[in-house]
Amino acid sequence: MQNAGLHFQAIAANIDERAIEAPLEQDGAGPDAVALVLAKAKAKEVSDRFPDSLVIGSDQTMSLGDEVFHKPKTMADAENHLRTLSGKTHRLNSAIALARNGDIIWEHVSHAELTMRDLSSDFIHRHLSRVGDKALSSVGAYQLEAEGIQLFSKIDGDYFTIVGLPMLPLLQQLRELGVIDG
């Protein structure tokens, strides 16, 4: 956002993401809906604390078919993620919401489809040994902007959606709201 010329302050939302997700998943909510509900919850919570500010909330889910993935908690979880994704196409669902005065005024979900090449168990072990705990910081157990790019054979979608903040739709909305020069 800074590289796009936006002036902002990063403030973490005080929400329990797992508590919000649990009933959604029990009700069969899809990955888009989960990402959007979380993005809106983050935007609203911060907006309630800073009522006159325009607040951006975002969240991303990763899905393989109907299965929604969460960040791996251990290196064994990361290994299982990569083994499951190997040779398959998964989807990143990046949601964004704008709030002002505690009200959601805009929402959007963008998608990217990523096809992971076939990975051998030996390669997965070597890869995770090289990247270490960084594998635990993302839902897919990879960082596309780093060595994780080596895991893929095909990517359909824009970079910003992949890293979790769909900048092009956001910038368009900010122009429409008159917040940035358009």
Residue corresponding to tokens 């993401």: 17
Angle between helices 31-49 and 17-26 (to 10 degrees): 140
118 classed as catalytic: no
Structural domain boundaries in the chain: 17-176
pLDDT in tens, 53-97: 999 999 999 999 988 898 899 999 999 999 999 999 999 999 999
Q: Render 101-120 in DSSP notation, one character per residue.
A: TTEEEEEEEEEEEEEEPP--
Residue corresponding to tokens 């979790």: 164
The DSSP letter of residue 73 is S
- Global pTM value: 0.89
- Helix locations, the chain, DSSP H: 17-26, 31-49, 75-85, 121-131, 159-163, 167-176
Architecture of the domain defined by 17-176: Alpha-Beta Complex (3.90)
Which listed residue (48, 59, 66, 156) is catalytic? 59
pLDDT in single tens digits along all 182 residues of the chain: 888 888 899 999 999 999 999 999 889 889 999 999 999 999 999 999 999 999 999 999 999 998 889 889 999 999 999 999 999 999 999 999 999 999 999 999 999 999 999 999 999 999 999 999 999 998 899 998 899 999 999 999 999 999 889 999 999 999 999 999 88
CA–CA separation, 162 and 160 (whole Å): 5
* Residue pair 105/98 in contact by the 8 Å Cβ criterion: yes
Per-residue tokens: 171: 């910038």
* Residue pair 164/145 in contact by the 8 Å Cβ criterion: no
CA–CA separation, 166 and 145 (whole Å): 15
